[in-house]
Amino acid sequence: MKTTQPDSSTVFLVSGGARGVTAACVVELARRFRCSFILLGRSSLVAEPDWAAGAEQESALKQRCIQALVGHGQKPVPAQVGKAVREVLASREIRSTLAAVEKAGGRGQYISVDVADAAALREALGPHRAAVTGILHGAGAIADKLIEKKTEADFERVYAAKVDGLANLLACVPQEQLKYLILFSSVAGFYGNVGQADYALANEILNKAAHQLQCRLPACHVIAIDWGPWDGGMVSPELKGLLVQRGVPLISLERGAEFLAGELARDSAAAATQVVAGPTLPAPLPQPGTELLRHRIRRHLTLEANPFLRDHVIGGYAVLPTVCAVAWISNAAEQLYPGYMFFCVEEYRALKGIVFDSTLAEEYVLDLNELSKKPEELVFEGAIWSATPGGKPRYHYRANITLVRQRPPAPDLPYDRSPTHPIPGATLYADNTLFHGPSFRGVESVLNLGPTSLTARCHLPRISREVQGQFPVQNFNPYFADVQLQSLLVWAKHIYGYGGLPLRIRRGEKYHPAAFGETTYATLSVRSQQAHSLVADVTVHNEQGELYSRVTGAEITLSPRLNELFRQNRLQA
């Protein structure tokens, strides 16, 4: 049976829904579907005390609370002050969520109750049972410890919020009237995670329950979402810092809420009952050993398996972007050593590019040789080659790749964002200064262009995993890197009147992961220039001025003949 998407007649019963991550999702559902919500939470909704008026920050609230207690002749106790301030902050957040729901076009009410308390929940929901047509179970708790240090109380608290909470919610609402059942699970349940045996167990029970309930309730749209780490909620600032260091992107509240709404808008007959949203959690870090190994990895390349190649065509033929060779080598190294991530490439050379024409080889070989192994750093020499008809190797790309446990702090490098020579990015793609198709059209505008420098504002829309084909984004994003290096082609065309193709990169460093859809600034500084070659450095910053990456000694070969080849940027029939 098929379930339509929610509408103004839908009433969601939401656990954990008035604060944090689930609250953000509720507001987005209200905006998208104009539905109603009964929000459940353990926090009490208290009236704002007089002493809290006008105080926004927690420190100011604590000071006001102490003053009020002293004024009433009481001795301030830290635990008492902390509890009073937390109640004020929680109540403000609840009211803010209810107001946001109303503003978004929905309706909401809040009930203070613990979903793990079956009797209290049944009593609180008595007047609302007949109205509920959907359940969103977002409540949860964590008690992260190694398993030998966990207590029975830790397990019970984590298990009760997820598993007992779901059972109690289902017991309070006649299941035959449910059209939607959304369970907030976690990638910890799907992949496992160190220190979260209880949390992983509880979430995997939700995953299995979703499949069973979908069979029992065919008219209900049941979905368990295995969320990756959120930028908020139960992800503490300390954990967030660790995840960022390990290159694990966080799910923003906005993107996560949009993902949920998109899943509910799907035709339930074709929708998956369990989905994984966001990245995996960091794996335990293995020790790499000391023996230097040699690896040989073979790959069969086709145009059909790599849809992005249709957007990288020169002279009528698809050409593998030079940055994909870096991705090829670094991705293979990362897969050999989980827990390490790409930091830099050195002495990269494009020797004989891979063109998808009659010269395309049946098989390509990556020789990956380990040069050094340290606990915090691994260095590899990579060479990509294919066999000639005579059996000799034809080398296409060479590079040294460094993987690290943790990237070093980024240096503080200046850049100029002043728009002194603005050129729309669309113009550069339209006049074939840049030959790139949609998957690589990330230059939004050139802000300034001078005799030895250029700054471009870049914004690359998301490229789906299917389009990425055999070159998926891991810790190195070749599509993002290609956009930044397009600055060399733009500068060369405006100075010399013709473009160039890549030859080598002396060194490239990555300090921060860049997400699709993020605005960045690529600044080019010329090191040397001749009629037929250009060598430049390129740095990439975000809008806050943080350095994302730095390339030194990027060299391209220049030729007037490329003007015509760049115009032939559609595949030949």
Query: Which residue type does 313 have?
Result: V
Domains 11-41+113-277 and 294-404 share a fold: no
What does the block give as tokens for 498? 């013709």
Greatest alpha-carbon pair distance for the chain in Å reads 96
What integer pLDDT is reported at residue 198 of this predicted model? 92
Q: What pLDDT is stored for residue 144 in this prediction?
A: 86
Task: Return mean pLDDT, the chain.
Answer: 91
CATH topology of domain 11-41+113-277: Rossmann fold (3.40.50)
Q: What pLDDT band is residue 230 in, cutting at 50, 70 and 90?
A: confident
**Mean pLDDT confidence for 214-241:** 80
The CA distances from residue 144 to 193, 197, 240, in Å, are 10, 8, 15
The H or E element containing residue 168 is helix 165-172
DSSP 265: H
Higher pLDDT, 227 or 365: 365
Mean pLDDT value of segment 270-282:
77
419-478, pLDDT tens digit by residue? 998 999 999 999 999 999 999 999 999 999 999 999 999 998 889 889 999 999 988 999
Q: How far apart are CA 225 and CA 263, in angstroms?
A: 9
Confidence check: pLDDT of 3 > 80: no
| Lowest-confidence region among 238-242, 272-276, 325-329, 549-553 | 238-242
Sole residue written with tokens 């969320």: 227
Token code pair at residue 69: 């207690």
With a pLDDT cut of 90, the percent of the chain lying above it is 71
DSSP letters of 76-145?
P-HHHHHHHHHHHHHHHHHHHHHHHHHHHT-EEEEEE--TT-HHHHHHHHGGGGGG--EEEE--------
Two tokens, residue 357 = 């024409």
The percent of the chain in helix, strand and coil, each rounded to the nearest 5, is 35, 30, 35
Q: Is the pLDDT of residue 244 over 70?
A: no
Region 304-318: mean pLDDT is 95
Domain 294-404 has CATH 3.10.129.10: yes
- Two tokens, residue 57: 């920050």
pLDDT tens for 351-360 read: 999 999 999 9
The residues, ordered by sequence, that sit 6+ positions from 326 with a Cβ below 8 Å of its Cβ are: 345, 348, 399, 401, 476, 478, 481, 508
Lowest mean pLDDT among 275-279, 537-541, 547-551: 275-279
Percent of the chain with pLDDT over 70: 94
What is the per-residue pLDDT for 417? 87
pLDDT exceeds 80 at position 1: no
Amino acid (1-letter code) at residue 255: R
pLDDT tens readout for residues 13-47: 999 878 888 999 999 999 999 999 999 999 888 89
Query: What are the extents of the domains in the chain?
Result: 11-41+113-277, 43-92, 294-404, 423-567
Rounded mean pLDDT, 140-167: 91
Which of 36-45, 269-278, 397-406, 447-456 is predicted with the least confidence, judged by mean pLDDT? 269-278
Span 214-243, average pLDDT = 78
54-99 per-position pLDDT tens digit: 888 888 999 999 999 999 899 888 889 989 998 999 999 999 999 9
Go through 478-487 and write b for each residue having 16 or more CB atoms within 10 A of its CB, e for each that does not: bbbbbbbbbb
Three-state secondary structure string covering 320-384: CCHHHHHHHHHHHHHHHCCCCEEEEEEEEEECCCCECCCCCCCCEEEEEEEEEEECCEEEEEEEE
Give the C-alpha separation, 150 to 199, whole Å. Answer: 12
What is the structure's pLDDT at 228? Answer: 84
* 139 in Cβ contact with 15 (< 8 Å): yes
Q: Which class in CATH covers the domain with range 423-567? A: alpha beta
Distance in angstroms (rounded) separating the CA atoms of residues 484 and 539 = 8
Q: Which helix (H) or strand (E) holds 296?
A: strand 294-299
DSSP state of 5: P
- Residue 496 pLDDT > 90, yes or no? yes
Closest to 446 measured CA to CA, from 498, 488, 412, 390? 488
| Residue range 210-237: mean pLDDT, rounded | 85
For the cut 60, the answer to whether the pLDDT of residue 348 exceeds it is: yes
| More confidently predicted of 281 and 257 | 257
Angle separating helix axes 165-172 and 118-125, nearest 10 degrees: 30
Label residue 283 by pLDDT band (50, 70, 90).
low
pLDDT of residue 127 exceeding 60, the answer is yes
pLDDT (tens digit, 9 = 90+) per residue, 518-546? 999 999 999 999 889 999 999 999 988 89
Confirm if 543 and 557 have CB atoms less than 8 A apart: no
- Cβ distance 410 to 512 under 8 Å? yes
